[in-house]
Structure 1
């Protein structure tokens, strides 16, 4: 079975643009025929109260034959390979890869929630996702573009 997936890309430590470029190369090994679509990258202000540098964010889309949990494991392996350390929630990181969508599936498991729980409120997810699929309809039947506000667009700076 092959499923279209969308993965959020984020980094703010150790050359964040290079971290994301390296992650995209690694993601190609998870994509069928190594075909992957990547949004432009954006600079965004970090969430939460932890003092840290701005983030570089984007979204990648590709078809995969991995199950949702196997995809999660593969993404976490990529994060770990690139030096991800999980110390503080919403803290600085070399790389953050989150499954946003797995086809039109809704998944609620202890390790995995799809669609990603915060994606509808996050400009650094919605705008890059719309860059690669502007006509996307979410599993809840909401049009992606209907979630994007002028204020959200003003929050991000394309790199």
Structure 2
């Protein structure tokens, strides 16, 4: 709650710190509502990113805005040509950043013994509701068998820092 209150007061760094601590404690204490904490944490990160974007735009000079506008217009024109050739759709989060259970972007990815990565909280819910097995491979799996996927977690955090829109994906 403190993290959410600090998010509302636009004290994002402190809010993110408190929400991260709350999430770590929820995982440690095996609390089932850690998914709500993740959503609050992602929301705080998104709002921080949006605020930083507003500050950057406000501080730019008019000349720089004009030059950037010309560059971006040309870049968009080139991207449209490439997109027409490749027939790509709108921006999407890479599939390997998405949880195999909820299809949401992962915050705390873990690897099962079968090598499949899931969001920790969704996999724990699966264990409680359905049983102690890997949802895709159907091999027996317990919480003690899970290992954090630190490389993927770092890649997702980097992606979210550069693409704030993806927090709502």
Report the TM-score, using the length of structure 1 for normalisation: 0.23
Answer with 1 or 2: which has the greater Rg.
Answer: 2
The structure with the greater share of residues assigned to strand is: 1
Larger fraction in helix = 2
Q: Could you tell me the TM-score, scaled by structure 2's length? A: 0.23
The answer to which structure, 1 or 2, has the higher relative contact order (CA under 8 A, 6+ apart) is 1
